Amino acid sequence: MARHLITSAIPYINGIKHLGNLVGSQLPADLFARYQRGRGNEVLFLCATDEHGTPAELAATKAGKPVAEYCAEMHEVQAKIAEGFRLSFDHFGRSSSEQNKALTQHFAGVLAEQDLIREVSETQMYSHADGRYLPDRYIEGICPNCGFDSARGDQCDNCTKQLDPVDLINPHSTISGSTDLEMRETKHLYLRQSQMKDQLDAWIDSKTDWPVLTTSIAKKWLHDGDGLQDRGITRDLDWGVPVKKGGEDWPGMEGKVFYVWFDAPIEYIACSQEWVDAGKGEDWERWWRTDKGADDVTYTQFMGKDNVPFHTLSFPCTILGSGEPWKLVDYIKSFNYLNYDGGQFSTSRGRGVFMDQALEILPADYWRWWLMSHAPESSDSEFTWENFQQSVNKDLADVLGNFVSRITKFCRSKFGEEVPAGGAYGDREEAAIKEISDRLKAYEGFMDAIEVRKAANELRAIWVIGNEYLQEAAPWSTFKEDPETAAAQVRFGLNLIRVYAILSAPFIPDASDAMLEAMKSDDKGWPSDIAAALSALGTGHSFAVPENLFRKITDEEREDWQQRFAGTRD
């Protein structure tokens, strides 16, 4: 039995994520996890909230709460929503956990021992009114280049020139508006990524089967300019993992915390410890330590393209640089962005559909199906309400839902609510079995390769076979002359429902459960042998006609939603 370790990029804590965030990380990761479980493999699927950093502190202040309390609440909110989308994490952890604190400090300690950390003295903008150091982007002023009056400290949004906060004319804090700013000298730790450049380069070069998106971003960072740069891994903040060298204090680093991008990926490992400590599993090391059984684990990460540098370079640098036998990622699946109706999803402007709103409108399966069958794999893709309505109505309601409805209702009216006896499968059934078997092979191939859109296409084609079969077999006609043959045809159709339930579960878990429940079956074994699987429900097996699996989205609803999500979030 293969073992799959699967992680989704961990969503930031400061609010509810929109569908664009969901489509590139948590959802495809869940799809893959459910598929691997369905194939009978052992899976550990982990996700968490990313809780440290300036934005979390500011969001908490805005909400009028201590940051720890704010994070705890938002974690619960995100966990609830994840459950609503049927994201089947084995554990949904928190980067602020004690486990992650200890592990992050441990890694910093061993990296220091390996001489991969150096101290750098630099100047940072300090705001007296805010009582904190300000990241460059929280400082605005007049652009010295073009005169734009709200240029940010890192870059001017008007002329796109790269800036330094000290370049700005009349700089002020975007948090308080205060102009009482001062450049202060402060010391920070840098991870010497440049020392690991060749090793990382060779490692990326060996990953010839990774998505182009993943490797091209990694190579850009490795080879651009002077090559991979050392990176600051500490910040002057209150909220975060205190800087320590393992269990020891770090002289000169008092009051500082690790940078979120240092501790966030480490949470993948710490999360498995949380999973054990929560009593959900045991022995996390057999997933992470190659000296303790993780050698045969296949580790797959999912993320949007903005996360790629940290997963291809920074985190591997931490892992490899430690000199300890930690499991390194085997495959990085990255996604482009999902746009919303001619523009971008925007958290700040409330443009587009957010995860909580989506679930208020329609159940998870509708969203899961559309998002995965339109996943932005080769380029950015676009959500439009017209496309959503058409795809969901056609694929789910008409092709799959109606198939289940027509065969179960026909059986009930002619034979009653049990699998009818009589007749035998013949050439027509053999042909359908052959066709489904071929399609299933393709489906498995795409799912193994995490080709999400192509897998969805194949699955849909398998659903279509059911309707084609019914049309050709026409049990409603056969029944008049030859009820025995009609019985065999209906038996075949009913068995298809169970098979569809199993194959469709990664995409539409709720409908899958509803189909199995209707068929009164709890046999979820992967149908490797389609012929056998289509005889699993034997003569006399009782079933129930389910409620319609999917309702249709009306034109009125579509127009209503289009208006509602165009502007600001209420």
Partner RNA sequence: GGGCCUAUAGCUCAACGGUUAGAGCAGAGCGCUCAUAACGCUUUGGUUCCAGGUUCGAAUCCUGGUGGGCCUACCA
Report 41-60 residues binding RNA (CB under 7 A): 50, 52-55
Q: Judged by CB under 7 A, does residue 124 bind RNA? A: yes
Q: How far is the CB of 98 from RNA (least distance, A)?
A: 19
Least separation in angstroms between residue 444's CB and RNA is 17
* Residue 324 makes contact with RNA by CB under 7 A: no
Q: What is the DSSP string of 65-85?
A: S-HHHHHHHHHHHHHHHHHHT
User: What is the DSSP annotation of 522-563?
Assistant: ------SSHHHHTTSS-TT-B--PPPPS-PPPPHHHHHHHHH
> What three-state secondary structure class fits 375?
coil
Q: Judged by CB under 7 A, how many residues of this single chain contact RNA?
A: 83
**Position among 257, 470, 508, 533 found at the interface with RNA (CB under 7 A):** 470
Residue of 130, 365, 377, 458 that binds RNA (CB under 7 A): 377
Only segment of 267-275, 433-441, 471-479, 514-522 that touches RNA (CB under 7 A): 471-479
Q: Using an 8 Å Cβ cutoff, are 185 and 172 in contact?
A: no
Task: Provide the token pair at 294.
Answer: 């993780």
- Contact positions with RNA (CB under 7 A) in 186-205: 188, 193
107 or 479: CB nearest RNA: 479
Q: How many residues are present in the chain?
A: 570
Site string (1-30) toward RNA, x via CB under 7 A? -----------x------------------
Structure tokens given for 177: 């508006």
Whether 564 contacts 385, CB under 8 Å? no
208 binds RNA (CB under 7 A): no
Q: Are strands 169-173 and 139-142 parallel, antiparallel or unpaired?
A: antiparallel
Name which of residues 486 to 545 contact RNA (CB under 7 A).
none
Interaction between residue 560 and RNA (CB under 7 A) = no
CB 53 within 8 A of CB 239: yes
Residues 136, 134: Cα–Cα separation, whole Å: 6
259 touching RNA, by CB under 7 A: yes
156 within 8 A of 163, measured Cβ to Cβ: yes
Please give the torsion angle defined by the CA atoms of residues 382, 383, 385 and 390, in that order, rounded to the nearest 10 degrees: 80
Maximum CA extent, the chain: 93
- The C-alpha atoms of residue 499 and residue 523 are separated, in whole angstroms, by 10
Nearer Cβ to RNA (43/143): 143
Q: Pick one of 145, 298, 344, 562: the residue that binds RNA (CB under 7 A).
A: 344
CB of 561 to RNA, least distance (A): 18
Q: Residue 416 or residue 525: which is nearer to RNA going by CB?
A: 416
| Shortest Cβ 50–RNA spacing (Å) | 5
Q: Which is nearer to RNA, 387 or 437 (CB)?
A: 387
When asked if residue 264 is in the footprint of RNA (CB under 7 A), the reply is yes
- What would the x/- binding string for RNA be over residues 239 to 258, using CB under 7 A? --------------------
Helices and strands counted in the chain (H then E): 22, 19
Q: Kindly tell me which of 55 and 325 has the beta carbon lying closer to RNA.
A: 55
Closest C-alpha among 49, 54, 48, 77 to residue 67? 54
Site for RNA in 131-170 (CB under 7 A): 135-137, 153-155, 160, 162
Nearer to RNA, 217 or 440 (CB): 217
Instruction: Supply φ then ψ for residue 537, to 5 degrees.
Output: -85, 105
Q: Is the Cβ of residue 114 or residue 457 nearer to RNA in the bound state?
A: 457
159 is in an annotated binding site: yes
Flag whether 271 is marked binding: no
Please state, as a whole number, how many other Cβ atoms lie within 10 Å of the Cβ of residue 115.
Answer: 10
d(CA 104, CA 98) in angstroms, rounded, equals 10
Q: Please tell me whether residue 446 binds RNA under the rule CB under 7 A.
A: no
Q: Among the candidate windows 21-29, 267-275, 302-310, 323-331, which touches RNA by CB under 7 A?
A: 302-310
And the tokens for 275?
């999973």
Report yes or no: 193 and 228 within 8 Å, Cβ to Cβ: yes
Distance of CA 424 to the CA centre of its chain: 45
156 is in an annotated binding site: yes
Using CB under 7 A, which residues numbered 210 to 229 contact RNA? 212-213, 216-217, 220-221, 224-225, 227-229
User: Which of 17, 37, 101, 231 lies at the binding interface for RNA (CB under 7 A)?
Assistant: 231
Instruction: Choose one: 22-30, 271-279, 435-443, 461-469; the region binding RNA (CB under 7 A).
Output: 461-469
In the bound state with RNA, the residue whose beta carbon lies nearer, of 62 and 280, is 62
Three-state SS for 280?
Answer: coil
Q: Which of 399, 401, 410 is nearest to 489 (CA)?
A: 410
**How are strands ordered across the β-sheet holding 181-191?**
132-133, 117-127, 181-191, 231-232
Is residue 47 marked as binding?
Answer: no
Q: Does residue 551 bind RNA (CB under 7 A)? A: yes
Binding RNA (rule: CB under 7 A), the pick from 89, 268, 315, 410 is: 410
| Residue 304 CB neighbour total at 10 angstroms | 20
* 2 vs 5: CA distance, rounded Å: 10
Q: Is 143 annotated as a binding residue?
A: yes
Q: Of 232 and 325, which has the nearer Cβ to RNA?
A: 232
Q: Which amino acids are annotated as binding site for Zn(2+), given as ranges?
A: 143, 146, 156, 159
Q: Which amino acids are annotated as binding site for ATP, given as ranges?
A: 347
Q: Which amino acids are annotated as binding site, given as ranges?
A: 143, 146, 156, 159, 347
